[in-house]
A and B are shown apart, each in its own frame.
Chain A
Amino acid sequence: MLDQLTSFLFAAGIPRPPEPSPDLRAQALELLDSPGRLRASWAEIMRRLEDEGFEAGELALICRVHLNLLDNCAALLEALAALSDRLRLPPEKWRSAAVEVKSLEDEIRPLYELATRKPPPFDPAKFLAAQRKHAGEPAVEVGEVLRQIQAGEAKL
């Protein structure tokens, strides 16, 4: 997660001893690769979602972090656009980074909205109706349910 863009953002504004002529062009090119790194990190999250699933709060936090990093990326891309001639940045590289930022935002935002959707109020009438319908049937331990499914005694 702490890729070079993040390190750059954390380090911004911290007084440091003067460095011998920093290679601004190399740094800018490195920044243009940040959306690609975020894409790779997001692909890993999607793989985990398919393989294991996520607790909603955990996924919401991961989405929020990615969305914040993408906001920062978009702001830096705007700043780089003004310097692109001076730094001789390849325009197609800038464009593809901007497209990647937008496309990742469009993928992540709906998931963030789903994961943070407010639950409805608990409906006591529905709950009582369900309780009445199953009166006398005790709750089952979840490990026992899984055992019954594996033994073919309960069908999913």
Chain B
Amino acid sequence: MIPQVYIERWVLTDLFALPLSRASKLKFLNDLLNHLPTNHSRLRGARCENNSSCFWYARLAAEAAKVHMVRFAVDDSTPDRLRVVWVEHVAG
């Protein structure tokens, strides 16, 4: 069964505030909706240091000749539910 993805409010606030275009932010949200749950079993190995109930899910996007990486910490401790609990932006 494909898990549903939930995002915490503070993650949404931080994601919306990133210095990236609307198109890139929409792409990241679509990746969370479509790519993450269907690839969860492959991605879940990248566990977060200091919090074993979470794994890192990182996406890269190109914007104005610059590559940006956005990492999401995803809690998968509840079956069939992925909860995005943190986001961080790494500019290329």
Q: Which residue of B lies closest to A123 (CB)?
A: B50
Contact of B62 among A49, A123, A140 (CB under 8 A): A49
From known contacts A55-B43, A114-B69, A142-B32, infer whether A46 and B50 are also in contact, taking CB-CB under 8 Å: no
Q: CA of A114 to CA of B62 in the docked complex: distance in angstroms?
A: 12
Q: What does the 1/0 interface line of B41-71 toward A look like (CB < 8 Å)?
A: 0010010111100101111111000010101
Q: How large is the interface on B (under 10, 10 to 19, 20 to 34, 35 or more residues)?
A: 35 or more
B21 CB to nearest A CB, Å: 9
Q: Given contact pairs A55-B39, A55-B60, A115-B60, enumerate 16 new A-B contacts (beta carbons under 8 Å).
A: A49-B67, A50-B62, A52-B27, A54-B60, A55-B58, A114-B60, A114-B90, A122-B48, A124-B50, A139-B83, A140-B6, A140-B9, A142-B32, A145-B29, A155-B16, A156-B26
Binding site for B on A (CB under 8 A): 46, 49-50, 52-57, 59, 110-111, 114-115, 117, 119-124, 127, 130-131, 133-134, 137, 139-143, 145-146, 149, 155-156
Contact surface of B with A, Cβ cutoff 8 Å: 4-10, 12, 16, 22, 24-33, 35, 39, 43, 46, 48-51, 54, 56-62, 67, 69, 71, 73, 83-86, 88, 90, 92
8 closest Cβ pairs, A-B complex: A56-B58, A139-B6, A130-B10, A122-B51, A121-B49, A53-B61, A122-B48, A122-B50
